[in-house]
A and B are shown apart, each in its own frame.
Chain A
Amino acid sequence: MHELSLMAGVMDLARQELERHGASRLTLMRLRFGELDQVLPDALRMAFAAMTAGTSWEGARLELEEEPLELSCPLCGHRFRPGARSALYAPCPSCGETTGFGVVRGEGVFLDHLEAE
């Protein structure tokens, strides 16, 4: 449900960036979100469609990329990608440690790329 608020933040950033580059009509937007962030792609698409409808940005393409989770082991420093979300609890494939993994990637929501005219 927080996808609507996230998209409102995205739209603000996109407007700032287009203005800075002297462009006015958005044609493509690329967003990246971490596997940990509990973001629903369909809800993001719906929010984007609703917020661009009836504006000059209507019809712009939205590309979404989910960044897989990458963890680091607190004991041996090994970096690995758990196979599934529940594998947050899985042992480190290198040394077998089971807790305290740090998150290297796969957290946060980022506006990566825009195309405009």
Chain B
Amino acid sequence: MEIPVVRNVLEANDRIAARLRGEFARRGILALNLISSPGSGKTSLLERTLSDLAGEFRMAVIEGDLQTDNDARRVAASGAAAVQINTDGGCHLDSSMVSEALLSLDLDGLDILFIENVGNLVCPTEFDCGEDAKIALLSVTEGDDKPEKYPYLFHKAKALLLNKIDLLPYVDFDTARARACASALNPGLAVMELSCRSREGLDLWYGWLRAAVRKKREGGTL
């Protein structure tokens, strides 16, 4: 028997993601999916952001890692609510994991939900978690050719944060090249250079966040 099908393999994931997106829209919560290689500084960025903007926004974090709750404990030290998901070897978060994690968070009055994905430049890009935007992080120790090598993330992201710029004098990272390649893939991409360690450039990121929260509250899309 022949059965013609043509069904999107990710339809189950996308259905849950659409439900989450509706819930975030109804509550005016800005949801951001942070994606990068392991060690690019996602957790450091969250630590800075959660403590620097604590007086301004109510924020919560979903942390995705293969093992341990180290990251959830790190970001919870800022006072923000944090839930850890352990994927036990899984290379990405999907919408059902996020949906499950949301049950442990109080969403009332929440302004921003950060979803820190599993460190991986490939797989997390494929799975919609209901976010308003994917945020790509790339640290200058990783090499400026990453947007060329892993184009899909940079094609899909709404913002690219070039982290660890305090190390630029010590590495051969051509900021202009990384910017040019990423912008060619995605002309609307906001590119910000910063260092979580020296705090340089963090204001650019905070400015982007404030504008995004405002847009979300007004019912717009990023």
| A-contact bits for B130-155, CB 8 A (1 contact / 0 none) | 00000000000000000010111001
8 Å CB contacts to B: which residues of A59-117?
Answer: 85-86, 88-89, 98-100, 103, 108-117
Question: CB distance B1 to A2 under 8 Å?
Answer: no
A18 within 8 A of B: yes
Q: Report the interface size class on chain A.
A: 20 to 34
Question: CB distance A37 to B2 under 8 Å?
Answer: no
Question: CB distance B92 to A5 under 8 Å?
Answer: yes
CB distance from A107 to the nearest CB of B (A): 9
A6 within 8 A of B: yes
Chain B hits for A117, CB < 8 A: 1
Count of chain B residues with a beta carbon within 8 Å of a chain A beta carbon: 33
Question: CB distance A110 to B123 under 8 Å?
Answer: no
Question: CB distance A115 to B9 under 8 Å?
Answer: no
Partner of B1, one of A12, A31, A110, A115: A115
Main SS of chain B's interface residues?
mixed
Chain B hits for A12, CB < 8 A: 12
B176 within 8 A of A: no
Chain A hits for B127, CB < 8 A: 2, 5
Partner of A9, one of B1, B9, B122: B9
Question: CB distance A88 to B185 under 8 Å?
Answer: yes
8 Å CB contacts to A: which residues of B173-222?
Answer: 181, 183-185, 187
A6 in contact with B1 given A36-B152, A38-B152, A100-B187 (CB within 8 Å): no
A112 in contact with B185 given A2-B126, A36-B152, A38-B122 (CB within 8 Å): no
Question: CB distance A111 to B2 under 8 Å?
Answer: no
Q: CA A12 – CA B120 in complex, angstroms?
A: 26
Question: CB distance B9 to A2 under 8 Å?
Answer: no
Question: CB distance A2 to B122 under 8 Å?
Answer: yes
Chain A hits for B10, CB < 8 A: 6, 9, 108-109
* B150 to chain A: closest residue by CB: A38
Q: CA A75 – CA B174 in complex, angstroms?
A: 29
CB distance from A53 to the nearest CB of B (A): 19
Question: CB distance B8 to A23 under 8 Å?
Answer: no
Q: CA A12 – CA B126 in complex, angstroms?
A: 18
A residues near B (Cβ < 8 Å) are 1-2, 5-6, 9-10, 12-13, 17-18, 21, 23, 31, 36-38, 85-86, 88-89, 98-100, 103, 108-117
Q: Which 7 A-B pairs have the closest CB atoms?
A: A2-B123, A1-B91, A114-B3, A109-B9, A100-B187, A89-B184, A99-B187
B residues near A (Cβ < 8 Å) are 1-13, 90-92, 94, 120, 122-123, 125-127, 148, 150-152, 155, 181, 183-185, 187
